[in-house]
Chains A and B, each alone.
Chain A
Amino acid sequence: MTRAPRTPTALDSLLAGTLHYGTVMASAIIGLGVAMGLTGSGSGGRQLANLRAEDIVTAGIALFILLPVLRVVLMLISFLRERDYLLSVIAGVVLTIILLGFAVGSRMASAIAG
């Protein structure tokens, strides 16, 4: 029961590249924000084009959270192109559940605020 070694599929490589460069980018943004927060005077730290250090860190964190979402979107597109409708539906379900998570969180936030 052996098979010839196969090379990574196009999808494997696409996901690997996306996750790798996404991690580098998100880390760099958070690093910039943290550095600004540490070097500036006062409690808020330096500002960059009206953005507070904390806003930049928040943007980096948001990018990290969106990376796996992007990964599911890429998989969904790839399954649709292969006409693999069963897996496309499954990827769509996963995407819906994640977005539901965002919705549930903001409902909770407004419940706390109200």
Chain B
Amino acid sequence: MNSGLVAWLFTVSFGASALGGMLGMAGGIFIVPILALFGHLSIRTAIGASIVSVIACSCGSAAPLLRARLTNIRLAIVLETATTIGALSGVLVSNVIPTSYLFFLFAVVLWLSAQQMAARRGDPAVASPAPAGRWAAALRVDSSYPDRAMGHDLPYRVQRLPLGMLLMYGAGFISALLGIGSGVLKIPAMDTALRLPIKVSSATSNFMIGVTAAASAGAYFMRGDIVPAVAGPVALGSVAGAVVGARILMRLSNEGLRILFIVVLVVLGAQMFLQALGVQSLRPL
């Protein structure tokens, strides 16, 4: 192993994951473009390394959220049927899709994420008491979560489960194809369709990302797309970065960071778009 490459991979993943963690997103959306554009790794190697780091971040950050009772594990396993089928479809498509399409799709996802970050998220307004959904009632996925400010548990109901499942299928597909956690589709699914409280949706989505990514990572692992010399340092950097990012999240005011993020997402999106068109926008390192 080349010590320069190891140090660079570790640093990039640490930074991406720490910054991502501060705003509650996975670092994969930064790791893949940086590895592909600046590290001059093939995009498939970058995706293989990133999908492992997505699993690592999901597993590494799950415990405190579970103990705080924010994760709805019944809802998670129900939605995971859709995300894993989506992931499997993504794996099959990845086998035939030209590389330039991957760059183009990645550019679109980066820009959509920038747009999402510019629009603030809030707890969805729910008519109280919300009517019980037929599917949600049959599967008993409605639950409650502890509200610190009010000092007691707040019940919530899961709405429009079929629409949520459809969006989750898309999220799994994009996650597998691009090696990312795919918050860009999970956030609308959780907020607009299922109408979950924001803390519950963040915790549950983080919990689901690991299983979704395992379906595609298993396939990429068997296919030989996961290069240990790259994926190893990336996984280590991501876990360390996620721990640090989560600590800082509790102290920092996010406004400046949010604007920085939007700029980085737009710029990386533009670079990926140029790459898709075959423009060599960057000098080799």
Question: Interface residues, chain A, CB within 8 Å of chain B?
Answer: 1-6, 8, 11-13, 15-17, 19-20, 22-23, 26-27, 30-31, 33-34, 37-38, 45, 53-54, 57-58, 60-62, 64-69, 71-72, 75, 86-87, 90-91, 93-94, 97-106, 108-109, 112
> Number of B interface residues, CB 8 Å?
62
Contacts A30-B236, A65-B214 given; does A20 touch B152 at CB 8 Å: no
User: A residues within 8 A CB of B15?
Assistant: none
Q: Is the interface of A mostly helix, strand, loop or mixed?
A: helix
Q: Are B222 and A106 in contact (CB under 8 A)?
A: yes
Are A101 and B6 neighbours in the complex by a CB distance under 8 Å?
Answer: no
B153 at the interface (CB under 8 A from A): yes
Task: Assess A8 versus B155: contact at CB under 8 Å? Given A61-B221, A94-B211.
Answer: no
Q: What is B's interface to A at a CB cutoff of 8 Å?
A: 1, 3, 6, 52, 55-56, 58-60, 62-64, 66-67, 69, 71, 73-74, 77-78, 80-81, 84-85, 87-88, 91-92, 95, 128-129, 138-139, 144, 146, 152-155, 210-211, 213-224, 226, 228-229, 231-233, 235-236, 239
CB B57 to nearest CB in A, in angstroms, measures: 9
Complex CA distance for A90 and B144, rounded to whole angstroms? 22
Q: Which residues of A contact B69 (CB under 8 A)?
A: 6, 8, 12
Residues A62 and B221 in contact, CB atoms below 8 Å apart: yes
Give complex CA distance A93, B224 in Å.
26
